[in-house]
């Protein structure tokens, strides 16, 4: 039984990610290129959806997050119309910082490369 609920949560998460991404492309073209929906996490009960977004420009992250949070009622209505779910999930937008971590790791690797002695084979 657990496998079914986790499979369903994954399916619904994927559908929510697609719908919100499609909305951003169609309705907010000025955000395309610097805003990406990177993932949606849902518990098996499907009552909440934690939506991770990546914002390319660091100085626009907070304002973008506020804009998305302001549009939560609209997103919920959109999802209710497009997805056939018993309950419309609560939507929680969060900033995905994984790109920052990748950038930091790349910087550290470059630093290590610069400090390594060259091979003299």
Q: What pLDDT shows up at residue 15? A: 93
Q: What pLDDT shows up at residue 120? A: 55
Q: What pLDDT shows up at residue 10? A: 92
Segments of the chain scoring below 70 in pLDDT: 1-5, 32-33, 118-121
- Tokens, residue 72: 């939560």
CATH of the domain at 68: 3.30.300.20
Q: What pLDDT shows up at residue 86? A: 86
Domain assignment present for 121: no
Number of domains the chain is built from: 1
Torsion of CA 113, 117, 118, 121, to 10 degrees: -130
Using alpha carbons, select from 34, 36, 17 the residue that is nearest to residue 91. Answer: 17
| Segment 55-72, tens digit of pLDDT | 888 888 888 899 899 999
Domain assignment present for 120: no
Q: What pLDDT shows up at residue 2? A: 43
Domain that holds residue 93: 2-115
Domain assignment present for 37: yes
d(CA 83, CA 97): 29
Beta-carbon-side half-sphere exposure of residue 70 (alpha carbons within 13 Å): 6
Percent of all residues in the chain with a pLDDT value above 90, rounded to a whole number: 36
């Amino acid at each position: 039984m657990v496998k079914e609920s986790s499979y369903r949560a994954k399916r619904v998460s994927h559908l929510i990610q697609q719908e919100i991404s499609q909305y951003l492309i169609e309705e907010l073209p000025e955000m395309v290129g610097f805003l990406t929906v990177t993932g949606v996490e849902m518990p098996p009960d499907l009552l909440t959806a934690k939506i991770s977004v990546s914002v390319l420009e660091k100085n626009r992250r907070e304002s973008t997050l506020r804009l998305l949070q302001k549009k939560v009622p609209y997103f919920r209505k959109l999802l209710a119309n497009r997805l056939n779910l018993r309950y419309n999930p609560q939507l929680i937008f969060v900033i995905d910082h994984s790109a920052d971590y990748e950038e930091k790791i790349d910087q550290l690797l470059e630093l290590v490369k610069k400090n390594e002695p060259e091979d003299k084979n």
